[in-house]
């Protein structure tokens, strides 16, 4: 092969970071320890944000009013991953776009607890508009991964 005479050199960029979460993300993460999914509301447009955030990007107002949701949500969209990607979970896995309560925005999380024999059946087991609820980890540290996944509401 002619191309055998060309060389490649491999290297990587393993870098470590520590991110300050600030007031609203900290409060939102802390509540996960108590199995609570909180949202916050814009005083002007009254949209509810889940996950919570520091300010409304449209009204540009600080979000100080908090609401507690019951944690259940609706699947707005989803995808079933069949391909293995580096640093990503083992396939198949389902990532859902989940609207919690009356939130104007959605959360990204896994959908699990599905009953199937072959991975090809998974997309058929999930309906957009389907109600889901969180399945919590026993040990919680205040992180979105305190929720193992969302499962269909029986």
Partner 1 sequence: MKKKAAIISVGMTKFTSCRRETRSRAELAFAAVKDALSNAGLALKDIDASVYTSVDGFEATVRPARTLEAFGQGLNIPLIDVNTGGSAGGSGIKEAVHLIEAGIHDIVLVYGSPTFNSVVDNQQVLNTASPPIFEKPFGIGAVHMGAFYLSRYMRDHDLPEESYAEVASKNHRAAARNPYAHLRKGFSAEEVLASPMITSPIRLLECCPTSSGAVAMILASEKRAKELCDTPVWVRAMSSISDTFLSGFKTYRGFDKLKILAQKVYKAAGIKNPRKEIDVAELFNPFAGFELLEYEAVGFCKEGEARRLLEEHVTDVGGELPVNMSGGVVCTNSGISASVIRHAEVALQLMGKAEGRQVKSPSVGLAHSWGGNLGQFHTLAVLTL
Task: Single out the residue of 34, 72, 33 nearest to residue 50, CA to CA.
Answer: 72
Asked whether position 56 contacts partner 1 by CB under 8 A, the answer is: no
For residue 30, give the H/E element and its range.
Answer: helix 22-33
Q: Which of residues 88-127 bind partner 1 (CB under 8 A)?
A: 88-89, 93, 95, 97-98, 105-110, 120, 122-123
Stretch that binds partner 1, among 34-42, 62-70, 72-80, 133-141 (CB under 8 A): 72-80
> Using CB under 8 A, which of 46, 57, 68, 70 touches partner 1?
57
d(CA 128, CA 141): 30
Asked whether position 60 contacts partner 1 by CB under 8 A, the answer is: no
Output the smallest distance, CB 34 to partner 1, in A. Answer: 19
Output the smallest distance, CB 147 to partner 1, in A. Answer: 11
How many angstroms separate the Cα of 133 from the Cα of each of 40, 91, 151, 154? Answer: 19, 22, 5, 9
Asked whether position 154 contacts partner 1 by CB under 8 A, the answer is: no
Find where tokens 């100080």 sit: 64
d(CA 6, CA 4): 5
Output the smallest distance, CB 75 to partner 1, in A. Answer: 10
Task: Single out the residue of 50, 48, 26, 30 nearest to residue 38, CA to CA.
Answer: 50
Asked whether position 86 contacts partner 1 by CB under 8 A, the answer is: yes
Per-residue DSSP letters for 67-88?
Answer: EE--S-EEEEEEEEE-S--TTS
Chain residues in the site for partner 1 (CB under 8 A)? 3, 6, 10-13, 17, 19, 21, 25, 51, 57, 76-83, 85-89, 93, 95, 97-98, 105-110, 120, 122-123, 128, 143-145
């Amino acid at each position: 092969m002619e191309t055998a005479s060309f060389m490649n050199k491999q290297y990587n960029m393993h870098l470590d970071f520590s991110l300050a979460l600030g007031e609203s993300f900290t409060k939102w993460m802390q509540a996960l320890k108590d199995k609570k999914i909180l949202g916050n509301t814009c005083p002007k447009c009254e949209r509810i944000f889940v996950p919570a955030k520091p300010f409304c990007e449209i009204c540009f107002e600080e979000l100080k009013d908090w609401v507690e949701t019951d944690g259940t949500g609706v699947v707005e969209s989803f995808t079933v991953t069949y391909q293995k990607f580096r640093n990503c979970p083992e396939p198949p896995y389902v990532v859902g776009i989940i609207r919690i309560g009356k939130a104007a925005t959605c959360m990204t999380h896994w959908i699990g607890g599905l009953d199937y024999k072959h991975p090809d059946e998974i997309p058929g087991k999930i309906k957009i508009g389907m109600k889901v609820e969180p399945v919590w980890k026993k040990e919680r540290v205040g992180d979105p991964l305190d929720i193992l996944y969302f499962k269909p509401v029986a």
